A and B are shown apart, each in its own frame.
Chain A
């Protein structure tokens, strides 16, 4: 039983850390968004994602312990979600690329052999569909907006583009989860993903960025410098006052 459990925990950490790190990133917008209504939209996305992380990390172990007392090398999130917010366009580019992937993944995860994951995905897929929709709407408006907004949207996509291949990378650990029928194989929807993103970009009057050298490694703990700073902010309080209670 030992080996299959390691496979399951590793997969739960990948999904849970994606949601946790992106939720923390988005919460940095709180009080700084371009409009009050957008502030609320982003806070809602952040809360949805942190809610997902609570479930996923809770299924992998003690959620608080995992979120606040792990070091950067032990995080399994993809590199895309830890990227800085940049301006609003870059945040929406990251959201479009991630939420579209997460939505397509969760649609398939509802068929997982793992009962917890199947039930989790069944519930989460609806909120993620909204994240995807919102990010698509903003991408279209900014891309097909003013000269300035189109330029920023293109730059935001260009920043995020090199982190897309990692979303479809299947390493040994993920292959084991796929073999155990816990995880869907992301390569099965890569083509659909590329054409879905392409459709949004063409409605937004934007060109897909030129292919760049992919950057991989987040799933195995090789993160960009940005994650360390994010964790320092997120983990500061519980690490300084380990027994603090609300």
Chain B
């Protein structure tokens, strides 16, 4: 890759792929692109060349709002000792399928 005018000038886009109908889009990585249409094209060429998907989303990375790693303690640790929030205390009758 030549240095000048390279993808370093282009904004970053996060790429989400839906593997097949019925599944959610999952984050797979990111691409550089000058605008939304080319971000989709780059995402298609980079992440779905081996039939990984049936649908693509691209989102400007700058638009992602992330939680603060400093706050990880107060945000996530309290959930760790609340095992009653997991639905594991029920006996499921054998006749019930697809759970």
Chain A positions within 8 Å of B, measured between CB atoms, are 31-41, 44, 130, 133-134, 137, 141
Contact = CB atoms under 8 A, between A and B. Distances in A.
Contacts of B38: 137, 141
B38 to A, nearest CB: 6
B6 interface: yes
Nearest to A140: B37
A37 B49 contact: no
B1 A44 contact: no
Contacts of B37: 137
B1 A137 contact: no
Contacts of B1: 31-36, 39
The SS class assigned to the A binding surface is helix
Interface string B40-65: 01101110010000000000000000
Nearest to B38: A137
Given A35-B6, A36-B7, A37-B42, A44 B32 contact: no
A32 B3 CA distance: 11
Given A37-B46, A41-B45, A141-B38, A32 B32 contact: no
A202 B85 CA distance: 61
B7 A35 contact: yes
B3 to A, nearest CB: 10
Contacts of A32: 1-2
Contacts of B46: 37, 40
